Amino acid sequence: MIPETVPKEDVFLASAEFCKTSHVSSFDKYKELYMKSIENPGEFWGGVAKDFFWKTKHCGDFLSYNFDVTKGEIFTKFMEGATTNICYNLLDRNVHEKNLGNKVAFFWEGNEPGDALTITYRELLQKVCQFANVLKTQGVKKGDRVSIYMPMVVELVVAMLACARIGAVHSIVFAGFSAESLCERIMDSECSLLITADGFYRGDKLINLKLLADDALQKCKDKGFAVSRCIVLKHLSKGAEEGSQSPPAKRSCPDLQDNLTGRVKKRRPVPQVPWNPEVDQCWHTLVKGASDQCEPEWCDSEDPLFILYTSGSTGKPKGVLHTVSGYMLYTATTFRLVFDYQPDDVYWCTADIGWITGHSYITYGPLANGATSVLFEGLPTYPDVGRMWEIVDKYRVTKFYTAPTAIRLLMKYGSEPVKKHKRDSLKVLGTVGEPINPEAWQWYYSVVGEKRCPIVDTFWQTETGGHVLTPLPAATPMKPGSATFPFFGVLPAILNESGEELEGPSEGYLVFKQPWPGIMRTVYGNQMRFETTYFKKFPGYYVTGDGCKRDKDGYYWITGRIDDMLNVSGHLLSTAEVESALVEHECVAEAAVVGRPHPVKGESLYCFVTLSEGVSFSGGLESELRNLVREKIGAIATPDYIQNAPGLPKTRSGKIMRRVLRKIACGERELGDISTLADSSVVEQLFQNRCCTA
């Protein structure tokens, strides 16, 4: 439970001025609302639901659920039987009922300074309707899965909302993932259509996205799964002939005669766009003839909205499934209250839409509130390390949301590049993705926010759909590094290894005792895996997989993952998926991967590999292994260290003791109890062969 009172000393508070206009203006107010949300979730969320459009109202229970595996199937249902459409609520409702048609939905800022465009709610609605009609003519129907593999462009939002409009289920794959990863995700969710782009620039680097997409489709085909259609956005090569490489195509792609034309101004090499006329279709050609009127498909509250894959400890990613109404209510409410959204805000979340943060807090949450956001294609350090603050000043950003890894990266360059820019528009700062170390918190607070802006350290997961532990900026006294208290409807507990709830100051497993609207509903196509992963260890609880500490004041502090997961730059990877990529190399007999703390990335990948008989370790092999992992998973999983490990520390039953490997990776000799090791001599050998530099 949350404490009666909060400390007045050694905490950071929002200014009285800020609190005056805030939605939740004091800790007492937070407590009062929180108690209501826990004691009567139906009434609490029913109140929130009144702001939205329902084609038909729900009847029966507002919420039904079971979190206890011993009592039958695990499920959560909010407002079952009500019908609505999330795209209608994000766009039509804002344009037609709230008169926000001319309000800017997105300021798009390209990789290259100077590449920019603006799109209003009305324009976004038109584009979404047109593209929804395109999807229909391509044969996409309600419930069909559509895979989206695109850079950070407005059309990515258009594509996802067009799916939502017709009741199709989008499965967005981050454009930094490899062809292999894309193929795996397409096949798992049996997507009938892929939407991609020619390519994009990340800083100076050209990413040939279409080549990767083609490669992925070929891999699917080789495994017996044919995707019949691929829609290609020409982001860089607009106006260029299709099939500039092979095979030559007759059709050519018309230039877009709208405000998205000519957005990439700097003349740079455009990607080669191989064209397969049987599968590939040009986005612009398809859209040209499409009507901008499209009746939304009215969906049940519990119809699927999207699938988003997240790493799983077995190595195979899990397709986290979210449904329409609960996700809508939850992302809209968390966005409004956690960032204390006000109508004149300009909000900027720097995440990629390919991750859950972008789904919930670039697309769904902000648009549900009629907010104006910045949509940024580029990098924080390109063309220089002042880029973020330049953009903040350019658009007069008021609410800014980023990751600890980005803060630590910029911190390395000192305060000068920050101070060159005014940043006087900023009001609230946020972080997400991993624990923020107090030093980075202080820098963010003092240098970036000039001690004026509350920081919301938001703890949540792909699975939770939205923030679950977080300060509310005016209500919660902040402690650097603590995600503080639960959001409305969220009831946390800390359990020990035997599943007992711990009271007062304590440390253990972070779990939740009852559902909130945004919680995932299942693992796509694998209910069993859903139950085993999240509900089996402690019946009656949703298990986050994170460790957590409660201090004497009742504040929650996330201590990091306690399963076989790594958090590299805020992105979760499982040790098993990296290991299985490594052992695919014919020279590798066995591999074990652990995390080693990294000053910017949070954690880096330290890989131990045991080579096959007769193979010797070399620099050449090392770079082959690095490339193999990149190719299998993507650049985010590139190993930082690869160590030759003729033997691995194993128990007598053959289980690798990762705890020992983590110590070796860090060069720490305090190993604790290693009496269960089958052969303890391997430990000394591993210490001697340690990699000290990446």
The SS3 assignment for 213 reads helix
Nearer to ligand WTA, 82 or 321 (CB): 321
Q: How far is the CB of 432 from ligand WTA (least distance, A)?
A: 5
Can the peptide bond before residue 404 be classed as cis, meaning omega within 30 degrees of 0? Answer: no
Nearer to ligand WTA, 41 or 545 (CB): 545
Structure tokens at 168: 């199709």
Closest residue to ligand WTA, judged by C-beta, is 462
N residues, the chain: 694
84 bridge partner residues: 299
Nearer to ligand WTA, 377 or 457 (CB): 457
Q: How far is the CB of 565 from ligand WTA (least distance, A)?
A: 7
Nearer to ligand WTA, 227 or 349 (CB): 349
Q: With 0-12 CB in 10 A as exposed, 13-18 as middle and 19+ as buried, what is 47?
A: exposed
Q: How far is the CB of 365 from ligand WTA (least distance, A)?
A: 13
Using CB under 6 A as the binding rule, the residues of this chain from 555 to 584 that contact ligand WTA are 558, 561, 567, 572
Contact between 84 and 52 under an 8 Å Cβ cutoff? The reply is: yes
Q: How far is the CB of 388 from ligand WTA (least distance, A)?
A: 19
483 is an interface residue for ligand WTA by CB under 6 A: yes
Nearer to ligand WTA, 305 or 572 (CB): 572
Q: How far is the CB of 308 from ligand WTA (least distance, A)?
A: 9
C-alpha–C-alpha distance, residues 102 and 114, integer Å: 23
C-alpha–C-alpha distance, residues 532 and 476, integer Å: 35
Nearer to ligand WTA, 188 or 546 (CB): 546
CA 32 to chain centre: 31
3-class SS string, 312-375: CCCCCCEEEEEEHHHHHHHHHHHHHHHCCCCCCCEEEECCCCCCHHHHHHHHHHHHHCCCEEEE
Nearer to ligand WTA, 126 or 569 (CB): 569
Residues 6+ apart with CB under 8 A from 73: 66, 527, 531
Q: How far is the CB of 271 from ligand WTA (least distance, A)?
A: 29
> What's the alpha-carbon Rg for the chain, to the nearest Å?
25
Q: How far is the CB of 441 from ligand WTA (least distance, A)?
A: 11
Nearer to ligand WTA, 397 or 572 (CB): 572
Size of residue set near ligand WTA by CB under 6 A: 22
Single-letter residue type at 540: G
Segment interacting with ligand WTA, rule: CB under 6 A, options 141-149, 183-191, 200-208, 355-363: 355-363
557 bridge partner residues: 549
The SS3 assignment for 35 reads helix
Using CB under 6 A as the binding rule, the residues of this chain from 308 to 347 that contact ligand WTA are 310
Residues 6+ apart with CB under 8 A from 529: 312, 318, 523
Nearer to ligand WTA, 462 or 643 (CB): 462
Nearer to ligand WTA, 192 or 567 (CB): 567
Nearer to ligand WTA, 184 or 300 (CB): 184
C-alpha–C-alpha distance, residues 313 and 534, integer Å: 12
- Could you tell me which of 609, 604, 566, 564 has the C-alpha nearest to residue 585? 609
533 is an interface residue for ligand WTA by CB under 6 A: no
- Local structure of residue 484 (DSSP, 8 states): B
Using CB under 6 A as the binding rule, the residues of this chain from 423 to 462 that contact ligand WTA are 432-435, 457-462
Residues 6+ apart with CB under 8 A from 644: 609, 611, 617, 689
Nearer to ligand WTA, 447 or 558 (CB): 558
C-alpha–C-alpha distance, residues 2 and 490, integer Å: 11
357 is an interface residue for ligand WTA by CB under 6 A: yes
Please state, in angstroms and as integers, the Cα–Cα distance from residue 570 to each residue in 56, 405, 575, following that order: 40, 7, 15
Backbone angles phi, psi at 301, to 5 degrees: -50, -40
Q: How far is the CB of 463 from ligand WTA (least distance, A)?
A: 7
C-alpha–C-alpha distance, residues 275 and 210, integer Å: 9
Single-letter residue type at 537: K
Nearer to ligand WTA, 83 or 334 (CB): 334
Q: How far is the CB of 172 from ligand WTA (least distance, A)?
A: 13
Nearer to ligand WTA, 326 or 518 (CB): 518
Segment interacting with ligand WTA, rule: CB under 6 A, options 263-271, 544-552, 651-659, 669-677: 544-552
Segment interacting with ligand WTA, rule: CB under 6 A, options 56-64, 239-247, 352-360, 437-445: 352-360
Q: How far is the CB of 567 from ligand WTA (least distance, A)?
A: 6
Residues 6+ apart with CB under 8 A from 116: 107, 108, 109, 110, 263
> Applying CB under 6 A, which residues contact ligand WTA?
310, 355-357, 432-435, 457-462, 483, 544-546, 558, 561, 567, 572
